[in-house]
Amino acid sequence: MPTTERPSFTVNLSLTDVAAEQIRRFMKEEDVPLDTGGLRVSVMPGGCSGFKYGLNIEEHQLEDDILTEDHGIRVFVDAFSAQYLEGTTIDYTTNLTGSGFTFDNPGATGGCGCGSSFSA
């Protein structure tokens, strides 16, 4: 019989108040319930600095996801991404050129002007 064991490790990832508010708004717009759905945060090879961040609202976590929670929002992270996200804070900013999520990642050794790409 297949096991449904979850990963035993964790990732320290946090959301600012503003980011959490925006995520709740997006989840409500997509009719994703807070008790089962959440925000998927991922890191993928690519971008102008080597890695890029990915964010997606999802209806449920996958079997091998690491689950963390902040501000009452479930955050889903895969094991590959977790190693690059430790200690990261996600914020949502608005300025004259636009608005969007930003990442303060203490593990990033470099980045680019777009703010969604980094090197490690």
CATH number where 69 lies: 2.60.300.12
Residue 32 forms part of a structural domain: yes
Distance CA 8, CA 94 (A): 37
Q: Give the per-residue pLDDT at 8.
A: 57
In a domain, 7, yes or no: no
Across the beta sheet with 110-111, what order do the strands follow?
66-70, 73-77, 38-45, 51-58, 117-119, 110-111
Residue 111 confidence (pLDDT): 60
Q: How far apart are the C-alpha atoms of 4 and 78, rounded to whole Å?
A: 15
Residue 113 pLDDT: 54
Residue 8 lies in a domain: no
pLDDT at site 3: 44
Residue 106 lies in a domain: yes
Q: What is residue 24's predicted lDDT score, i.e. its pLDDT?
A: 97
3 falls within a domain: no
**Domain count of the chain?**
1
pLDDT at 49: 63
> What domain range is 18 assigned to?
13-119
**The pLDDT of residue 35:** 94
| Domain assignment of residue 78, yes or no | yes
- Tell me the average confidence (pLDDT) per consecutive run of 10 residues in the chain, 120 residues long: 54 96 97 96 80 94 95 96 94 90 86 52
* Domain-embedded: residue 1: no
Give the torsion sign (CA, 75, 54, 82, 118).
negative
C-alpha angle with apex 79: 88 to 81, nearest 5 degrees?
Answer: 40
Tell me what pLDDT residue 50 has.
79
Residue 19 lies in a domain: yes
Q: Is 25 helix (H, G, I), strand (E, B) or coil?
A: helix
